[in-house]
Structure 1
Amino acid sequence: MTWDGTAFRTSIQEVLDEFLDEMGARLEPLGPDAARLLAEARASVSGGKRFRAAFCYWGFRSVAPAPYDERPLLRACAALELLHASALVHDDLMDASDTRRGRPATHRGFEAEHRGDGWRGDPEQYGAAAAILLGDLLLSWSEELLRRCGLPIERVAAAMGVFDLCRTEVIAGQFLDVSVQARGRADVDAAMTVLRYKSAKYSIERPLHIGAALAGATGDDLAALTAYGLPLGEAFQLRDDLLGVFGDAATTGKPAGDDLVEGKRTVLVALALDAAPDEDAALLDASLGTDLSPDLLARLRAVIDDSGAHAQVEQVIGELVDHALTALDATGAPDDARGVLRDLAAAATDRVV
């Protein structure tokens, strides 16, 4: 089977646009400030690779017999993109990020509006408040869209149980990440725990489970999808960690070396700190979370490369993908679902550093 990923992403965007039109009608009596919040919501759900929606869709297709109702399924999948947008808005605020996908992060945009209009109070506080509220609103809307997707209520109820678990994991994982950064230290095991709960499960395993639950999955079905989805999710985030240090800003939409500027204690950084010579490790450790000149960024990248951490993470990504694909071949998923899930595995982990 040939799956048209571009057409799928367009369909998800159409669902999101229609849902936000509905929410706009609900918010219209609140006036122009609510309209500004809605406009930022629209911007926050525009674009992106739609991996979570895609894994939800093919989690469903790996279990559900044909025929099935496409439109309600797309609405359910789009709910994962509202959840993701919520997480990104909050994440950018917590990380004090300036940009997201090449445009100002939500808190920076509202901060700039406050400052430009000469309003009273602290522009940064206003931007932070707006980002918290928008993230909360997107989180609420994600549950509403899934609950009202239109699939049979007993299937939606099963999926909501997984969705509840997913939200708990990602929020707690985010707090683990914040705490690790605050302590200024994390070994590889601690960094892997953050990676697993903040990103890996939420990005691939749980979307697969939500889709499968909507199709009436058994416990065995979910376990088989975990054997594929969890190692793939870990590989996905390890690739993201490499992009956060070595990625091209024109491709990632984030400043060069953003993870180092934000002081992220990732698996990549933990491995480098373990393996680098003492002087290099001390430089890397002291530089995390500071403004980096181009020369210092280049030096830190060289430290990570020379330590062997970059190559080691690449090797681990390859091993995790191999485990995931072996597990996928052992599932009872139809051939077309397995074929697309193989392609999605490559798309999620082969992104260019």
Structure 2
Amino acid sequence: MLSERLELILMSIVDDFLNHMTPLSSNYLIETYDLDVSPATVRNEMAKLENLGLLNKPHTSAGRVPTREAVRFYVKRLNQQFKDSQDTLESNEQLGETMTKLLNTGDMQQVANYISGITKQLTQVFLLNQDDDIRGLYVTYLTPKLVLAVIVLSSKKVLKIPVECNIELSLGDIEQYTSYINQMVINKPLTDLPKIINEMKVPKVLFTLKNNLYNALENHLASLTITNGSAGFDHIIESMVGDVDTLQNLYSDVQNQRLEKLIDANNDGVNVFFGEEIDEKYRSISIISTNFSFDDHAGNLMIIGPELMSYKHIIRLLYDIKNQSVERSSSSG
């Protein structure tokens, strides 16, 4: 736990470093951030932060720079501050109007271009049909190695998804599975269904059916994606020009719509994912993500950039988008 003064100094250092990418001295901090303490006190506090592994000193005569741990501390604290104060943030109606207008075109490339133009980072947006709640899921026997998953939704739509079993199951096995699965999924969002299925513990005889049902649902929900768009790859190339492997992996995942599967896009608010939290191959990037809903358009927005980027600007923007989508949904309702 950092003292209030230590946290203030650390947050100031990280904030300034992310904007200017140069080491900071105690005198610079006092002058720039109007700290009401002596240079000696700031130097002592910076030494404490260095001992805690939150600051580095590149050269003996240079100022300090934040470590990866410091950047992550800064981002999590910053995100929490925005989350706690989002009700008092000034409403950005122009942003909401522009998002609504672009989403109504159905062209997610325009949305991605717009957001990437603001953030100067790689942006990916994908739009989904409005989520339905599950009213019932029934597994019906077709053949000894094929069943039909019938999903009844709150919109009164009925999905029918064939699922291979690979092993012969009795009617009793299928009835047992149907009863158990309904206890877990009733009134849950359709998009949560694959995750719920995957985490279910079932008897060994039903293990293959569970895995095959999970894969069938994943493929079906992927087909519900209306469209997606990405823009700003040139920004990340410019900032990570020497990291060829990461850029190649990222380009492939963006083009093949795999990136959204690497993060948990079902969380509320604005979420920041660092490096290995995304995938081991992405240790040098971060993803800032939020869900949105404007009129009949629901989807997810991701900003992808190097681990050192302007988090404050981007997190604030995504809270603006999140808040505008909530305000417009409330007013239309």
TM > 0.5: no
TM-score, normalised to structure 1, is 0.24
Q: Return the index of the structure with the highest Cα Rg.
A: 2
- Name whichever structure is richer in helix by fraction: 1
The normalised TM-score by structure 2 is 0.25
